[in-house]
Amino acid sequence: MEFNPFSLAGKTILVTGASSGIGQTTAIVCSQMGATVVITGRDEERLQATFDQLAAAQEEHVKLLADLTIPDEVDRLVASLPPLDGAVLCAGNSTTLPLQFGSREKFNEMFDVNFFAPVELLRLMYKKKVLQKGASVVLIASIGGTHSFMPGNGVYGASKAALNSVMKYAAREYASRKVRVNSICPGMVDTPLIHRGTITEDQLAEDAKRYPLGRYGRPEDIANGAVYLLSDASSWLTGHDLVIDGGFSV
Amino acid sequence: MNITEFIENFASQFDDTEPDAFASDTKFKQLDEWSSLTALSIIAMIDDEYNVIIKGNDILNSETIEDLYKIVEKQQ
C-alpha cells in the first residue's frame, strides 16, 4: 500500500450536519479517504442525497436522522451509533444581528444549535464509550468569537467561542482515554448558510475580497483540515483550534 | 403599523443624524451615517418590531424610507 499518513481506512467516522455545506462535503471526503461514515442530519431527502455521494469502496455507511437540539433524539442517536474512531460535529447555524438586538431569546436559539447540541452529543459519546480509545473529535467552530470580531456576528461568535472553550477542556479530560479533541475555525465558507439574504450577494462578493487569498473558503478546504485532524497524521495534536480562513485573521 | 412610528423606529438606529432629518421621502442610503451595520440594525429592528424578516436586497432596492415601509407592510 502507498504511504499515506492521512488515510482514514479502517476508521468509522460520525459526521453531523451532513445534509448540506461543510458537513456534506466532509462526509464525502472522509468516505473517499477510506472511512466508513455515519452521517446524521434533520432532512431525510438531503441526507439521502449526501448518502448517495459517499464513496462506495465498502458498503457499510450508515445514515441516521436526528435533530440534535431534541434531547430524546440525541439519546436515540447515541444508542444507535457503532463504536467510533472519529467524529466531526458540523451541525450549526448562524445569524447576523447587531448586539443591541441580541436578546436572551436570540442567544438561546443560537446556543441551542451551536453549543448545547454538540456539547451534549460529545458528552454522551464519551460517557457511553461510543468514542473508542484513540478516537479523534473535530468540532467545527469559527474564527468568529475567538480570532475575529466583525460587527453583527456577536451572538453567533459567542456560541462558537464557548464551543472552542469546551473543546480545550475536553481535550485535557479525554486525553486519559487517548481521545483527541480539536476544532476547526473557518473564515467565511461558501455554503447555503451564507446565502440567506441578510447580507446581499454584492456585499458577500465585496467581503470576499478582504481575504488575503482572494476568496471565501470552499467546503473542501474545511473537510481536508478535518481529514488531517481525524487521521493518524495528527496523533500528537489535541486541544488545538485550527484556523482555516484564507489569511483573514492574520 | 403606521409610517410615523416606522420612521421613528428607523431613526432610532442612527446615533449622529438628527431625528428631524427623517421623513417618508428621505433617501436614507445617502445619509452620511449610513453603513452596513446600520443596514443590519434596520433588518433586526424590523424583525423585532414587526415580525417581518426582510432581506439585504429589500434595503438595496429601497430608495426612501417609505419604499421600505411598503415592503414591510406587504409582508405583515
Q: What is the pLDDT of residues A148-182, one digit of tens each?
A: 999 999 999 999 999 999 999 999 999 999 999 99
Contact A100 B41 (CB under 8 A): yes
pLDDT for residue A58 is more than 80: no
Which domain covers residue B39, as residue numbers? 3-13+26-75
Beta partners for residue A37, in sequence order: A13
Whole-model pTM: value is 0.93
In-domain check, residue B63: yes
β-sheet with A180-186: strand ranges across: A62-65, A36-41, A12-16, A84-89, A131-140, A180-186, A241-244
Assign residue A30 the CATH number of its domain.
3.40.50.720
In-domain check, residue A5: no
pLDDT for residue A61 is more than 90: yes
Number of domains observed in the structure of chain A = 1
In-domain check, residue A3: no
State how far the Cα of A198 lies from the Cα of A195, in Å rounded to an integer.
Answer: 8
In-domain check, residue A209: yes
Residues A23-33: tens digit of each pLDDT? 999 999 999 99
- Interface of B to A at Cβ within 8 Å reads 36-37, 40-41, 43-45, 47-48, 55-57, 60
Whole-complex ipTM: 0.86
Number of domains observed in the structure of chain B = 1
In-domain check, residue B21: no
Contact A200 B60 (CB under 8 A): yes
Which domain covers residue A43, as residue numbers? 12-244
pLDDT for residue A1 is more than 80: no
In-domain check, residue A163: yes
Residues A178-213: tens digit of each pLDDT? 999 999 999 999 998 888 888 889 889 999 999 999
Q: How confident is the model at residue A93 (pLDDT cuts 50, 70, 90)?
A: very high
In-domain check, residue A249: no
Residue A110 cell numbers, joined: 443560537
Residue A205 cell numbers, joined: 462578493
In-domain check, residue A71: yes
Helix (H, G, I), strand (E, B) or coil at A86: strand
Residues B13-72: tens digit of each pLDDT? 999 998 889 999 999 999 999 998 999 999 999 999 999 999 999 999 999 999 999 999
In-domain check, residue B71: yes
pLDDT for residue A59 is more than 80: no
Q: What pLDDT score was predicted for residue A199? A: 87
Helix (H) or strand (E) holding A105: helix A104-111
In-domain check, residue A141: yes
In-domain check, residue B20: no
Helix (H) or strand (E) holding B39: helix B36-50
In-domain check, residue A250: no
Query: Which sequence positions of A are flagged as catalytic?
Result: 156
In-domain check, residue B46: yes
Nearest to B44 among A97, A197, A203 (CB): A97
